Structure 1
Amino acid sequence: MAVGVAALAATTGGALSPPAAADGEVPSGQVEFPTHCAAPPQTGLPPADGPTTARITVDDPAPKAGDTVTVTYQVARTPALDPTGTGLPADVLTPTGRIVLGGAQSGEVTVVGVKRNDPVGAGAGLPAVTMTGTFTVTGAGGITLAPGGYTLHTSHMVDLDTTCDVVGAPVSERLTASPPPAAAGRTPARVNLRSVALGTAYGRPGAEVEVSGAGFAPGAAVTVAGRAGAAETADRVAATADERGEVLARLPVTDRATTAVVAYEGTAWSAPRGSGPAAYTVVAAAATTAATQRVSAVVEPGALSMTQAGESITLGGISYGQGGAAPGRIGTVTVKDARGGPAGWTLSGKITEFTGPGGVRIPGASLSWTPRCTVAPGGAGRCVAGGAGVVGPQGAVLASAPDAARAGGTFTIDATVTLRMPPYTPPGAYQAVLTLTLS
């Protein structure tokens, strides 16, 4: 198996972001509160009690009623410890949590983080995590955001959940919502109050998630669907709103690309008739760990190998305030199959989240690709390009060659890529790592 790694970078126009806080300076909005972290019951370990240091930020501190606000919950320190007692490798920790709303709007916001962490020593404390989610502003007024409980899911050898309960955490962020805009002489437009909440923020492929919705037209036919960025995934189920406009459904999530769940009336999602997305993560069962590194692939007789042109990909720029698509192209990949047998091969890829100035992160599911694959003259095998769509941290197929009586040859694989960046993404460079695996 050969592995290729490419660094991706995207930039936004405009002035640079303000500098980060100096050493020893407390970031704005950072709070500390007591936490009780229960170890997974199957481990027999005692609970861990201590302070959590966290911070909540929003992408828009002055939204209008009806707007969707993205929130980020950063846990800088937790009392939770390695639940295995033997240490954890990199990238086996998936955090989920909730943010408590107060003031002019009540309720909770589900937030989810990507599976990304540095190695953890035996019995050591679990590392800092970052989680994001969204909610729809339902009316004008001041809204407070306070940290809620969070769960640290580890998938190494066995799946384990460390649950951290929070009581009375102080407010970390505030925003002030204004009424929705209205034409002169007219009453304000009706705010879309459709919303969904999930029974859980993550699950294995094929697991059902309980979805409850509100604010729909009584008796309306409602579609509950998975989302990956702005696109819907294959996960979908139909429901009917009751006389109060509420919906209750169970959505089987089988598409690994799903990163959120929405509900809407009509044939397709639209802002006036659909809910905002509720974050969800598909967590694979514990498996053998993998590491990424730069590898020089050498072609030898009778081997399956891969080479890739270039070590980095630079995406196009995006104007600050507008958002949109940053286009680019991966380095051309050449697969040589000289094994002489009937076995085929699969070339897949996955990407980490994009990290920008000040720790701002963009999910890897925001990157999509459109693959192409050709066979050099004289080749015996057939090359099948992977489907166009989201790459994401769970990965997607770039190209493959099926098993056949006559196989082998030289295959050239290419793909255009597009990174979808939300409006008002802070200016600066955003970088991620794209890993290609040939098997």
Structure 2
Amino acid sequence: MRPTVRGITTRRSGVRGSGAGATDAGAGTGGAGPRIRTGRGRRWAAVLATGAFVVAGAGGFASPAQATVTASVPVDFPTHCIPPAIAGIPPIDGTTTAEITVDNAAPEVGETVTVTYTVVTPAAGNPVDLALPADIMTPTGAVTVGGAQSATVTVAGPKKNDPVPGKGVFPSFSMTGTFTVTAPGQITLSPGDYNIHTSYIMELDTPCTVTDPPAPVSETIIASDGGGQVNERAISLGAASGRAGEAVAVTGTKFTPGTAVTLAGRAGEGQTGDTATVTADGSGRFSGRLTVDDPATTGIVAYEGGAWDAARGAGPQAYTVTGGGGIPDGSQRLDTSVKAGTLSMLQDGDTVDLSAVDFGRGGVSRGSLRTVTVEDYRGGPAGWSLTGRVTDFTGPGGATIDASALGWTPVCATKPGSPSTCAAGSPGPVGSGGATLASAPDGTLTGGEFTVDARLALNVPAYAAPGAYSGVLTLTLT
């Protein structure tokens, strides 16, 4: 009798169980010995997260605060976050808890108010078992101003955070910005979109937007009329952060119609060399772009005339440079990039023929798994795991050999120069519940090429019905 094991199939598994590849099992042939098919020359890929942030499950949503509220309150709001593209994770909706506070809850018209946006509970967490180190996160965001006046205030936080344990909740963070009061009355402040920029192994962003803007009001201030002339010029930024050398969109309102307006970067109280000029239209509006090269930039202003004048300008709006740097005189910057790839495997053939055993004697039907090559070109901190599970072996007249009768002895070799080192799974039964064939652990930087093999052994009962038997061994790489 020659049992036949047919159809090693391979399945692709993405993050959080998403994605599954196709099963390729061929028809059985009698008298050929056990066979396992594996989809010759085909490649399946699965990308996992690298420094990216997984959104937590959604919770209850708070109702908007009443307009009469004059004390800051934490609010919950639904958030839509997009992990970095390298993560291969689809956008996930979660809940953010945040609070807005101010340095002056009763300002006069014309005064500047400092706003602090604290994300108490971000809608994101560490997606891998590897701990993230301290001070790798730079948050930026926006605060929506409503009521007596309307504006969008950009806010930015320092590059500072406590270490985050593997699979741990991401810590709270705060961002600050300023705006000028232009009208008396109740002015409401609501949390807006925010972005988590991380600088660990590579520069990555996780933008989170308010699903149903505006978010609930967290702070209400009461502005009084100061009696003086008010500068109503205002600007807003298209982003609160960017790499050195990137351009940021700047829009302005209430400037003098037809007047040239200078856009400029600020580093604390001083102005940087980053400037651009636009012209206000007939209604006093303008739209332009400012390229920010100076990594010391903390804000952006716009003004009429030859130099900054708070009476004829607007800002600063908070802005943070998240990477890159200046170019010394007489030098040229040479830019390149290392593109992250995927986690994939390639199988050397699709059929395994196990040795025949004799009716009445039974015994072990032996063979070797077709070699599997694992290629991890993601370049991040996540490891991988290659597992397998097998079906029952079916034979003539409905006869079966239980899946638990198949065992393996895995072997794994690492290509020299690979950042990771693979480990073979433990010898033992495979069964329908599955077992680990090989794996590589999480690390600061993982990746490489790995060759995986296994010796197969099927324990055939002495009086199994004569004929061909087939089973399907499915390998899953995550």
**What is the TM-score of this pair, normalised by structure 2?**
0.50
1:30 CA displacement: 1.9
2:188 aligned with 1:155, yes or no? no
Q: 2 CA distance for matches of 1:214 and 1:177?
A: 21
Q: 2 CA distance for matches of 1:240 and 1:285?
A: 30
Distance of aligned partners of 1:77 and 1:45 in 2 relative to their CA distance in 1, 3 Å threshold: same
Larger radius of gyration: 2
SS in 2 for 1:268: coil
String of CA shifts for 1:272-304, please: whole Å, max 9, x gaps. 111121110011159xxxxxxxxxxxxxxxxxx
Instruction: Identify the match of residue 109 of structure 2 among 43, 47, 65.
Output: 65
1:248 CA displacement: 2.0
String of CA shifts for 1:230-280, please: whole Å, max 9, x gaps. 211121122222211122221111111110000111122122111121110
Q: 2 CA distance for matches of 1:258 and 1:159?
A: 18
- 1:173: which partner in 2? 219
SS in 2 for 1:233: strand
Structure 2: gaps spanning 5 or more residues: 1-70, 326-478
Would you tell me which structure has more strand in proportion to its own residues? 1
The correspondence of residues 78-93 of structure 1 with structure 2, limited to 5 A, is 78-82=122-126, 86-93=130-137
RMSD across aligned C-alpha pairs, in angstroms? 2.1
Instruction: Identify the match of residue 33 of structure 1 among 43, 67, 77.
Output: 77
Structure 1: gaps spanning 5 or more residues: 1-26, 182-188, 287-439
- 1:232: which partner in 2? 271
1:220–1:265 CA contact under 8 A, matched in 2: yes
1:69–1:134 CA contact under 8 A, matched in 2: yes
Distance of aligned partners of 1:57 and 1:42 in 2 relative to their CA distance in 1, 3 Å threshold: same
2:297 aligned with 1:284, yes or no? no
Q: 2 CA distance for matches of 1:285 and 1:222?
A: 27
String of CA shifts for 1:114-152, please: whole Å, max 9, x gaps. 111112223322211100111121211101111112111
Q: 2 CA distance for matches of 1:105 and 1:83?
A: 40
Q: 2 CA distance for matches of 1:140 and 1:100?
A: 17
- 1:113: which partner in 2? 157
The count of residues paired between Structure 1 and Structure 2 equals: 253
One-letter code aligned to 1:171: V
Distance of aligned partners of 1:80 and 1:48 in 2 relative to their CA distance in 1, 3 Å threshold: farther
The correspondence of residues 179-218 of structure 1 with structure 2, limited to 5 A, is 179-181=225-227, 189-218=228-257
Q: 2 CA distance for matches of 1:149 and 1:128?
A: 15
Instruction: Identify the match of residue 295 of structure 2 among 252, 256, 265.
Output: 256
SS in 2 for 1:191: coil
Q: 1 CA distance for matches of 2:158 and 2:127?
A: 19
1:228 CA displacement: 1.6
- 2:445: which partner in 1? none
Q: 2 CA distance for matches of 1:88 and 1:144?
A: 36
The correspondence of residues 244-323 of structure 1 with structure 2, limited to 5 A, is 244-284=283-323
1:40–1:83 CA contact under 8 A, matched in 2: no
- 1:138: which partner in 2? 182
Q: 2 CA distance for matches of 1:282 and 1:136?
A: 24
